[in-house]
Amino acid sequence: MLEPGAAHPVLTIDEARQFEAALFGGDETREWPAMQRAGRAIADAVLRDYRELGAFPENARVLVLAGKGHNGGDALIAARHILEKHPRAKAAVCFVFGEQSLRPLAWRAHRELAQAAPERVAVFDAAAVQKDGAGFDLCLDGIFGFQFRPSVDERVAQLIDSVNALPVCLRAAVDMPSGSFRADFTYATGIVKTPVLENPNSGRVRYLDLGFFSGSPCRDTATLTPAALAPLRALRSSHTDKRDYGHLFIVGGSRKYPGAVLMSVQAALRSGAGLVTAFVPESLAPVFAAQVPEAIWHGMAESPGGGLALEDLPVFRERVSEKTSGTANATALVIGPGLSRDRESFALVTEILRINENIPVVLDADALQSDIIASGKAPRILTPHAGEYQRVEAAIPDGAVVVRKGPLTLIEHSGRKYISPFGGPVLARGGSGDLLAGMIGGLLAQAPGALLHAACRGTVWHGMAADCLARAHGQHAVRTTQLLDFLPEVLRGVSQ
């Protein structure tokens, strides 16, 4: 189990309804402050996420699609905060079911928006949205919330389709995308509900914590929060040295894929691990040592195919339990980045796993083969992308922690599921997974008994750093390893 606050429950629609009924009891005087918090949180998150595109335009045009109820109210409050922060921005509000349909709190939110910026708020009907639709920088979809019951009225469906066709820079759905609305981001206010995670129109799901779950026990499915990183933010004890922060061994690399293992090592060094030793083909070791001198590089005999040869198994065995040379023995292993599909390398890592009884291991990339992941008894974390997961699914041993990587990464352990709502398509480039394996390995080396913690913390840290990278430099013109420069900022809470 993770520490309290590190993960908040994901609820079904019925559970969420019951939860909100218990929290507010249908009392508008209690609902209004929660709506205010939701609207402000959406505004802050949208403006933060907009940074992936660049600065929010001074003369921004915001389209608000408002339904009748709380979802519309949240969107209207968010629009007010955006207009307050950007004094030249304008809002076009489309009351999808007509202004008269607004429920009292949505009406109140509309009135406050109109009063806050009377010259900058206009009411658009569906025809006006279609006619004047080009040039919206932001669209807030507040048509349906999770009280939605199918089906969608034909006129509303048409409006949504026409908005989907508009060249809007960022489309944000409040709580869940309405009908076929195609969101870039969906902002789950207070509660993440299961259907949002399954909806292909949700885009990137952002959980906005409104304080509903502080202290609640975790459910079988939970969403990870930045609090998962809390232990990494604490001061280290003064009476420590490098041996107190673990020694990670990384085994990988080949002539075919030299870069992957180098990236894993760089990430491990940034994870706080005291020592990192890398076992790589001997032709690569001197070059890597010149580039990354902080790691200990160990050149291993090479197979004819340019992978790691079996012959140096005794050398590895000796090093893994060595205590005499001044360096501590290994506290965790990462095996796989850039290993390639060399048969001798597969034999080597299978043997390494057989002789290793206790040291926890992260298996990544080419080491994710059915025979390999089932070898030996040491505790293990597997980090497959969707293709690798398909390859090894049937062979995953009981008790393994599985980091199922993808646009939404899911960490599975003992029947529980933890979702990471961080990161985005800036990670869709070669090497992102190699960095993640190095980070998880480095965290595991520091706390070898805490596999689930290492997997969850590594994934959250990696995803949050990716978000910072995309906000600072955009999604396109960056290199994978630039993510590493944002790891300190995530822990230190600067400019997130």
Ligand X SMILES: NC(=O)C1=CN([C@@H]2O[C@H](COP(=O)(O)OP(=O)(O)OC[C@H]3O[C@@H](n4cnc5c(N)ncnc54)[C@H](OP(=O)(O)O)[C@@H]3O)[C@@H](O)[C@H]2O)[C@@H](O)CC1
Ligand Y SMILES: Nc1ncnc2c1ncn2[C@@H]1O[C@H](COP(=O)(O)OP(=O)(O)O)[C@@H](O)[C@H]1O
Using CB under 6 A, list all residues that contact ligand Y: 365, 385, 405-407, 409, 423-425, 427-428, 430-434, 436
Nearer to ligand X, 257 or 279 (CB): 257
Annotated binding-site residue? 313: no
Using CB under 6 A, which of the segments 2-10, 51-59, 193-201, 430-438 binds ligand X?
Answer: 430-438
CA 163 vs CA 32, 45, 78, 132, 145: distances in Å:
29, 22, 19, 11, 18
- Return the residues of window 433-472 that contact ligand X according to CB under 6 A: 433-434
- Footprint of ligand X on 306-345 (CB under 6 A): 337-340
Q: Which does 438 bind (CB under 5 to 8 A by kind): ligand Y, ligand X, none?
A: none
Residue 432 interacting entry, from ligand X, ligand Y, none, C-beta within 5 to 8 Å by type? ligand Y
Pick between residue 246 and residue 307 the one whose CB is nearest to ligand X. 307
For ligand X, which residue of 110, 270, 385, 417 counts as binding (CB under 6 A)?
385
Is 73 annotated to bind a ligand? Reply is no
Pair of tokens at residue 347: 């034999």
Nearer to ligand Y, 73 or 338 (CB): 338
Question: Considering the rule CB under 6 A, would residue 386 count as an interface residue with ligand X?
Answer: yes
Strand partners, 221: 417
The alpha carbon of residue 127 and the mean position of all alpha carbons in its chain are separated, in whole angstroms, by: 38
Instruction: Judge whether 71 and 78 are in contact, CB under 8 Å.
Output: no
Instruction: Give the Cα separation of 428 and 415 in Å (integer).
Output: 28
In the complex, least distance from residue 333 CB atom to ligand X, rounded to whole angstroms: 16
Q: Strands 332-335, 361-363: parallel, antiparallel or unpaired by DSSP?
A: parallel
Q: How far is the CB of 384 from ligand X (least distance, A)?
A: 9
Residue 396 half-sphere exposure toward CB, CA atoms < 13 A: 21
Scanning residues 238 to 277, which ones bind ligand X (CB under 6 A)? 257, 259-260
Segment contacting ligand X by CB under 6 A, of 54-62, 191-199, 282-290, 426-434? 426-434
257 binding partner (options ligand X, ligand Y, none; Cβ < 5 to 8 Å by kind): ligand X
Chain centre to alpha carbon of residue 447: 22
Residue 274 marked ligand-binding:
no
Q: Edge-to-edge strands of the sheet including 204-208?
A: 121-123, 90-95, 61-66, 138-142, 170-174, 185-189, 204-208
Task: Decide: is 163 part of the binding site for ligand X (CB under 6 A).
Answer: no
- What number of chain residues touch ligand X (CB under 6 A)? 17
**If contact means CB under 5 to 8 A according to the sort of partner, which of ligand Y, ligand X, none does residue 259 touch?**
ligand X
Q: Of the candidates 342, 366, 442, 445, which one interacts with ligand X according to CB under 6 A?
A: 366
Closer by beta carbon to ligand Y, 73 or else 458: 458
**Which of these ranges, 66-74, 197-205, 314-322, 429-437, lies near ligand X under the rule CB under 6 A?**
429-437
Transcribe 85-143 into DSSP letters.
Answer: HSTT-EEEEEETT-GGG--HHHHHHHHHHHHHSGGGEEE--HHHHHHS-TT-SEEEEES
Sole residue written with tokens 């990161």 = 423
Whether 252 has a binding-site annotation, put simply, is no
Q: Report the alpha-carbon distance of residue 465 to residue 461 in Å, rounded.
A: 6
> DSSP secondary structure string, 303-325?
-TTSSB-GGGHHHHHHHHT--SS
- Closest separation in Å from C-beta 266 to ligand X: 12
For the CB of residue 373, give the shortest distance to ligand Y in the complex, in Å. Answer: 15
If 0-12 CB within 10 Å is exposed, 13-18 middle and 19+ buried, where does residue 58 land?
A: exposed
The answer on whether 408 is annotated among ligand-binding residues is yes
What token pair was written down for 478? 């960056």
| 18/193 Cα distance (integer angstroms) | 12
406 annotated as ligand-binding: yes
CA dihedral (447, 448, 451, 456) in degrees, to 10, reads: 30
Nearest-angstrom CA–CA distance, 350 and 355: 9
User: Which residues make up the interface to ligand X (CB under 6 A)?
Assistant: 257, 259-260, 337-340, 365-366, 385-388, 430-431, 433-434
Annotated binding site: 260, 338, 385, 405-409, 433-434
Annotated binding site for AMP: 405-409, 433
Annotated binding site for (6S)-NADPHX: 260, 338, 385, 434
